[in-house]
Amino acid sequence: MPANQRLLRQAPKPKAGMVHFGPGAFFRAFNAIYTDDVTDPISDDWGIVAVSLKSTTAKDQLAPQGCAYSAIERGPDRETIKQVNAIVDVRVAPDDPEGILALMADPAIKIVSLTITEKGYCYDSASKILDQSNLDIQHDLKHLDSPRTALGFIVSALNLRRKDGHEPFTALSCDNLPSNGQLLQNLVLEFAALIDGKLANWIKANGTFPSTMVDRITPATTPADIDRLAAREGYKDLAAVVHEPFRQWVIEDNFVSDRPQWENAGAQLVQNVDAHELMKLRCLNGTHSSMAYLGFLAGYETISEVVADPDFAQLVHAMWRDEITPTIPTPEGEDLSAYCAALMQRYQNTGIQHRTWQIAMDGSQKLPQRILGTVSDNLREDKVPHRLCLAVAAWMRFVGGVDEQGNEIDVRDPLAAPLKAAFNSADDAEGKVKAILAQRQVFDAALAENERFVVAVQKALAGLMEHGARHMVAECTV
């Protein structure tokens, strides 16, 4: 089938006003669509230059078709297709770091945004400080003219702007991290201080790092999705993305200068995003991860299959009611009960094949934000959240690398090797839990040494090893 000529004939591209690190499926199904919805390609300068820190995949897919692509929205009973033209260029960082830095130093670039996942921030998730032992961070500190990390690019480009007398760009984190803007600011300032204290002071005084909350379920695009699009529309689009109808973007309105009018596409511009962020991380991401590990062990491939099991659906409702929402202040304009009810409807959307294995990736980076903070809040209120402890135990069994049928699990995680070694260092659940809780990159000492938490997870893991996930889920709904 020919290349996507139909997309290549779209309207003219806007001039570049943003650089985005991490041009994966979520960015293309979320940030780029919001921007496309509010950008006039003739009069607005909000085109996005997408930068991949390592992989050439996005460039290989997008460049041949003029950086345009199809966004496939799937509801339970219908499908719509939008052609997105917000991306004006795609670059791969190792191919031309100097050129990317020159672009970021150009005052025409007003915003540098990121969807690089937790591990892309090169920080210790327990202490929330820069991981100076990271080899790429060490490289960037010595070679600021050819960085490898997003932090290195941001600090180096801001340094160039300061020297040239230009104002900084706004750095906009769009990753699922608590207070993601504050975290990014802290890491940038810590990195900059290692280079030049005056640079750090200039960034602190002049730069802005708004926090955001982003929400749209975006499963990995499959060959079947591409073939289905080709059969329907008559073109092959290797860059196509699939997403659910729902989307929510809450942004702190704190920008150095101009920004796209994202509110015209439904984004919520607020003074403080913390409550919305906490609601999403704990209600959605926390139960998503819980279902991913327990569902995977139970043999379910997708989230819609997981919640089709009445016991699993009841478990999720009980988590929200008893263990999660009591720890969350209600955000302005939100109703937590209604929010959770809407989440269940989204999980039940059979048009979205969101794989449990995909969600289970990088759990060591995700658990502290999605689950462990909620566990700690419950313990401070003298409550043991047994259902969330079961989810933690399921993650431990998952990273052990062998499923309930004795098959090897393809564990994708930065700490996969030490976690598997810790799991296998003991024969019983008690020893396995103690060994994994000693991993300080995941568990802080206060939680790892909390006897009620330790006992609850040990009991849950023992049950998973003896009876399996389905039995333990059913037991937790009683």
What are the tokens at 46? 């909000």
Q: Does position 218 have pLDDT exceeding 50, yes or no?
A: yes
Q: Are residues 289 and 147 in the same domain?
A: no
> 242 and 298 share a domain?
no
Please give the average per-residue pLDDT across 130-159, as a whole number.
97
Q: Range of 468's domain?
A: 274-476
Whether residue 208 is predicted with pLDDT greater than 90 in this model: the reply is: yes
pLDDT of residue 107: 97
- The residue-averaged pLDDT of 225-245 equals 95
Domain match, 254 and 293 both? no
In the predicted structure, residue 3 carries a pLDDT above the cut 60: no
Q: How far apart are CA 357 and CA 219, in angstroms?
A: 11
Query: Taking 70 as the threshold, does the pLDDT of residue 411 lie above it?
Result: yes
Chosen domain end from 243, 270, 297: 270
Burial class of 383 by CB neighbour count within 10 A (0 to 12, 13 to 18, 19+): middle
Q: For a pLDDT cut of 90, what percent of the chain falls above it?
A: 91
Residue 174 pLDDT? 97
Closest Cα partner for 321 from 308, 337, 338, 345? 337
**Which residues does 470 contact at the CB level (< 8 Å), separation at least 6?**
298, 309, 311
Q: Are residues 130 and 241 in the same domain?
A: yes
**285 shares a domain with 239:** no
> Is pLDDT above 50 for 24?
yes
Where residue 420 sits, what CATH number does that domain have?
1.10.1040.10
**Residue 473 confidence (pLDDT) above 80:** yes
**pLDDT on residue 11:** 59
Same domain, 279 and 263: no
Both 248 and 302 in a single domain?
no
For residues 231 and 11, the model is more confident at 231
Predicted confidence at residue 353, as pLDDT, reads 87
Asked if the model's pLDDT at residue 278 lies above 80, the reply is: yes
Whether 307 and 254 share a structural domain: no
**Coil, helix or strand at residue 476:** helix
Answer yes or no: is pLDDT of 213 > 50.
yes
Domain boundary among 240, 270, 300: 270
In this structure, the answer to whether residues 162 and 308 fall within a common structural domain is no
165 in the same domain as 294:
no
Same domain, 327 and 262: no
* Lowest mean pLDDT across 185-199, 288-302, 464-478: 464-478
pLDDT of 329-385, one tens digit each? 999 888 999 999 999 999 999 998 899 999 999 999 999 999 999 999 999 999 999
How confident is the model over 387-409, as a mean pLDDT? 97
User: What is the arrangement of strands in the sheet containing 241-243, beginning at the earlier edge strand?
Assistant: 79-84, 69-74, 241-243
- The residues that bridge with 242 in the sheet, in sequence order, are 72
CATH number of residue 10's parent domain:
3.40.50.720
Tokens of 304: 């819609």
pLDDT for residue 8: 45
How many domains does the chain contain in total?
2
Whether 34 and 155 share a structural domain: yes
Residue 477, pLDDT above cutoff 90? no
Domain's final residue, options 211, 235, 270:
270
**pLDDT higher than threshold 90 for residue 77:** no
Residue 478 or residue 274, greater confidence: 274
- Is the model's pLDDT at 191 over the cut of 60? yes
